[in-house]
Structure 1
Amino acid sequence: MEATTYKGNNKMITGIVFGVLTFWLFAQAMVNVVPAVQSDLGISLGTLNIAISLTALFSGIFIVAAGGLADQVGRKKITYVGLILSIIGSLCLVFTNGAFLLIVGRIIQGLSAACIMPSTIALMKAYFEGAERQRALSYWSIGSWGGSGVCSFAGGAIATYLGWRWIFIFSIVFALLALWLMKDVPESKGEKSRNKFDISGLIVFIITMVALNIFITQGADLGWTSALTLTLLVVAIIGIIIFIKIEKGKAGALIEFGLFKNKAYTGATISNFLLNAVAGTLVVANTYVQVGRGFTSFQAGILSLGYLVAVLGMIRVGEKILQRVGAKKPMVWGTILTVIGVGVMGLTFLPGITYTIIVFIGFALFGIGLGMYATPSTDTAVANAPDDKIGAASGIYKMASSLGGAFGVAISATVYASISAVSNVSLAASAGIAANVIFAVVALLSIIILIPNNTGLKENIVDERAMKG
């Protein structure tokens, strides 16, 4: 089957969504089964928290490299590598009896996600055009945003009725189905590059991100002014400076800074990082209602049901708005709703049932906002990248998702923990949520300033004319 004659179809979309779910639904579900895993394996909470965070961190660190590699050796090939890694990582978790296989499995799951995410977006770009591509990306977004919304309920239900290891047995099944559903998709590559793999850039990037992550997550325990904490901060700052210096203008760079010359791509990527950072709201709000309001974990989960339903319901709506008015307006509207939704959850001074209702509404607005934003943002990033660098561009865009989520949760949890240690949990929750409001406001400013008003409109007009012709 020739790549030039192949047209993307629903079978391909389903396979890709199943692949995306192996991370966003199943790997992410680990966050919600901490007591069960800790009880079963008999390991410390600190070790378990490290294992949980490693997946997002390794995904964020390696996703750009995997996206660039996909452009060179084949996007389907790297997707398959990711699915096989997902199976291996899940097997490690199914058979683990202690910390070692748990940590190894989580690292492998992070590498799996790094391979799957940019490669599948690049395949969508290669085999779908115009409105069809936007529809395909909507389903991709349902797999990612929707999967992350479902994971708390799915993971909790599976762990409760079957045992937590079954989460990863299901993940293996989905990965195998994805491999089968995508078998007829032809290979897709960018232009062959003569540049060597940027190993020096990757090493500096890894050191920088790990130092920054440890600084944020362990700073409170180590002491913010301790020698080790300050050393980590210095390493992170110097690492960022060195990384930018050695990467700028470098042939075959790990991060193609030239992509950021396109304002629309830059706006989509920055806002994507910041709105994924707002995920810290979920951690702070759920923790607060349990600690400060006496909710059970199940009751806390019910509060976020509106978020799940809204995200799933609004992703296709965001696609339709994109096709009618372009990308900027739904991205702005969605972010404003996110600011409002997150902001009202910080009103912790409200009494009993009033606060409960407000939080439920806040979660729903949060979901509506992110759902409206998702497809226009993804389409903007994909449409404004050169065809031969789609894998690398998608990798940077999805790196923003992973690292945004990892650092957003870390910052929010740190603010909450630091203030709750010296004050009441109500004030701590308000402060933790306020950090997320700041993330969302800066995201809104980046969209307003960087996304051109006609983004997404020109292509839709051309696509409609082609259909009529």
Structure 2
Amino acid sequence: MMETSKQGSTKMMIGIVLAVLTFWLFAQSMVSIGPAVQADLGISLGTLNIAISLTALFSGMFIVAAGGISDKVGRKKLTYLGLILSIIGSLCLILAQDTTLLITGRIIQGFSAACIMPSTIALVKAYFEGADRQRALSYWSIGSWGGGGSTYLIGGAIATYMGWRWIFVFSIVISLVAMYLLKDIAESKAVQSNNSRFDLTGFIIFIGIMLALNLTITRGDEFGWTSPLTIALIAAVLIGSVLFFIIEIRKSNKFIDFSLFKIKAYTGATTSNFLLNAVAGTFVVTNTYVQISRGFTAFQSGLLTIGNLVALLLMIRVGEKLLQKVGARKPMIAASIMSSVGISLTALTFLPDMTYIIVVFFGFMLSGAGLGLYATPSVDTAVASVSIDKIGVASGIYKMSSSLGFSFGIAISAAVYGAVIATGNVEAAAPLGILVNVIFAIPALISIMLTISSNEGKVVPELRTEKDETEKSFVLNSGS
């Protein structure tokens, strides 16, 4: 499957990929099985949209804290905690008969992802070097981006032929296998400093901002955009953001380490990661549209995205090779352009059935190829530009951008789609809900062009330095 470095192994990488799949494949299958869940549990569309976005939202809110904790207490421990939470969250969904367990399970799955994502990236950084690291991150990306692309086909197939609850039965099995494969690796943690207290104030303010923003986006139309409640929520977001920055900039031990954003490459990778994950709203709107307006089953709508999955998986390894030869900039720019064009094609809902199917299939395939090309150059740029002692929190921020981008992309697209339907203009709802996502892809392209250098990520002969040996000596340790 892959060559390994001195510490990393194929067994370890399979365990990491399976851990990542518990979120990106199984937990995120909710985006493709919404109508089935809604019909089974008898919940409203608004409640369903909240349930879909909650996991990514809670992951995004807690992922930075989890990344910092993984640096301190151990990346393997946090990965295990995430897998245990995944099992608990999946059980809640399997047993759900109403909104209570559905929402509870989705929140727990968010906490699970917050633990798994940054700690697994940090494990890759700790156990693999150079080209081995880039190859390992390609497999990590297959679990992440590939898993996300698989949700529509695999999740739709399971929901159609076995029932949507079986998705989470498989998630439990995969979690248990991942735990078994990772049980023998040594713990990895960073050197402890005296100033290691958790920034609870910043954490609480950040959660308040994210919750207010999510409620504004998902429920603003229901509350009324000029209602006192919506205005209060918007004010809470604006005032909270200013307060958060003022408080955090003065602290030595920040919830979000703003010094990381002084690294241009890290800033570009993280910003574009947020924006290109936000295009996930395209899939939600398109899946909902073809199931409700064109009578597709969940499995049939999943088949529309199979080209996206295949192209994405193939292009991840291509992105890795291009990264090593030409650097990160060119493949990341090409990826943003491809995603923009692909998304635009899926908005052509005025086309007749067969023509529409062909165009949407090609659009999803082009978008998938772009995201596959983007995946490894982006995550490697983020990982390589940060020192090993901050890799947990840096990975947390990077993956927070993924989760929040995914959550807000879905929420905004679904809100636009629902708002237009409420006006009675059903034909315009899907195109407008989809085209919102192009607004995310274009700024992603601009941020890459401004921050990522042409040499970023190129593989050069490595020279062992005293700093390298010092970092390696404290990254891999099992007891201290």
Shorter-chain TM-score category? over 0.9
The answer to whether the Cα contact below 8 Å between 1:82 and 1:116 also exists between their aligned partners in 2 is yes
Q: What is residue 469 of structure 2 aligned with on the other side?
A: none
The answer to whether the Cα contact below 8 Å between 2:328 and 2:456 also exists between their aligned partners in 1 is yes
AA partner of residue 309 (structure 2) = L
Q: SS at 2:101's partner residue? A: helix
- What are the equivalent positions in structure 2 for 1:26-105 lying under 5 Å apart? 26-105=26-105
- What are the equivalent positions in structure 2 for 1:366-405 lying under 5 Å apart? 366-405=367-406
Q: What is residue 127 of structure 2 aligned with on the other side?
A: 127
RMSD between superposed Cα atoms in Å: 2.0
Moved more, 166-175 or 58-67: 166-175
Deviations 1:91-120 (A, max 9, x none): 222333333232222211110100000000
Deviations 1:134-188 (A, max 9, x none): 1111111111111111122222332333333322221111111111111121111
The CA distance in 2 between the partners of 1:340 and 1:465, in whole Å, is 43
Q: Percent of pairs identical after alignment?
A: 64
The CA distance in 2 between the partners of 1:465 and 1:122, in whole Å, is 21
| Aligned CA distance change for structure 1 residues 211 and 42 (closer, same or farther; 3 Å) | same
Q: What is residue 224 of structure 1 aligned with on the other side?
A: 225
TM-score between the two structures when normalised by the length of structure 1: 0.93
Q: What is residue 468 of structure 2 aligned with on the other side?
A: none
AA partner of residue 78 (structure 1) = L
Q: What is residue 136 of structure 1 aligned with on the other side?
A: 136
Q: What is residue 448 of structure 2 aligned with on the other side?
A: 447
Q: What is residue 159 of structure 1 aligned with on the other side?
A: 159
Deviations 1:393-425 (A, max 9, x none): 000000000000110111112222222333533
AA partner of residue 11 (structure 2) = K
Q: What is residue 15 of structure 1 aligned with on the other side?
A: 15
- What are the equivalent positions in structure 2 for 1:359-370 lying under 5 Å apart? 359-370=360-371
2:184 counterpart of 1:184? yes
1:370 deviates by 0.4
The CA distance in 2 between the partners of 1:211 and 1:406, in whole Å, is 14
The CA distance in 2 between the partners of 1:358 and 1:40, in whole Å, is 32
Q: What is residue 171 of structure 2 aligned with on the other side?
A: 171
Deviations 1:209-268 (A, max 9, x none): 000000001111111111111111110111111111111242221111000000000000
- What are the equivalent positions in structure 2 for 1:433-444 lying under 5 Å apart? 433-444=434-445
The CA distance in 2 between the partners of 1:334 and 1:207, in whole Å, is 34
| Aligned CA distance change for structure 1 residues 421 and 165 (closer, same or farther; 3 Å) | closer
TM-score between the two structures when normalised by the length of structure 2: 0.91
AA partner of residue 144 (structure 2) = S
The CA distance in 2 between the partners of 1:388 and 1:332, in whole Å, is 30
Moved more, 50-59 or 214-223: 50-59
The CA distance in 2 between the partners of 1:355 and 1:297, in whole Å, is 17
The CA distance in 1 between the partners of 2:311 and 2:270, in whole Å, is 23
Q: What is residue 242 of structure 1 aligned with on the other side?
A: 243
The answer to whether the Cα contact below 8 Å between 1:288 and 1:426 also exists between their aligned partners in 2 is no
Q: What is residue 215 of structure 1 aligned with on the other side?
A: 216
The answer to whether the Cα contact below 8 Å between 2:274 and 2:401 also exists between their aligned partners in 1 is yes
Q: SS at 1:461's partner residue? A: coil
The number of equivalent residue pairs is 460
Any stretches of 5+ residues in structure 2 without a counterpart? Answer: 466-480
Deviations 1:58-106 (A, max 9, x none): 1010000000110111111111111111122222223333332322222
| Aligned CA distance change for structure 1 residues 270 and 127 (closer, same or farther; 3 Å) | same
| Aligned CA distance change for structure 1 residues 213 and 77 (closer, same or farther; 3 Å) | same
1:349 deviates by 4.0
The CA distance in 1 between the partners of 2:38 and 2:289, in whole Å, is 22
AA partner of residue 49 (structure 1) = N
| Aligned CA distance change for structure 1 residues 446 and 169 (closer, same or farther; 3 Å) | same
Q: SS at 1:135's partner residue? A: helix
The CA distance in 1 between the partners of 2:417 and 2:160, in whole Å, is 29
2:460 counterpart of 1:461? yes
Deviations 1:305-324 (A, max 9, x none): 21111111111111111111
| Aligned CA distance change for structure 1 residues 16 and 270 (closer, same or farther; 3 Å) | same
The CA distance in 2 between the partners of 1:417 and 1:44, in whole Å, is 12
Q: SS at 2:455's partner residue? A: coil
Q: What is residue 478 of structure 2 aligned with on the other side?
A: none
The CA distance in 1 between the partners of 2:246 and 2:240, in whole Å, is 10
Q: What is residue 475 of structure 2 aligned with on the other side?
A: none
Q: SS at 2:460's partner residue? A: helix
AA partner of residue 461 (structure 1) = V
Q: What is residue 145 of structure 2 aligned with on the other side?
A: 145
The CA distance in 1 between the partners of 2:203 and 2:464, in whole Å, is 44
1:35 deviates by 4.1
Q: SS at 2:461's partner residue? A: helix
1:465 deviates by 11
The CA distance in 1 between the partners of 2:345 and 2:159, in whole Å, is 32
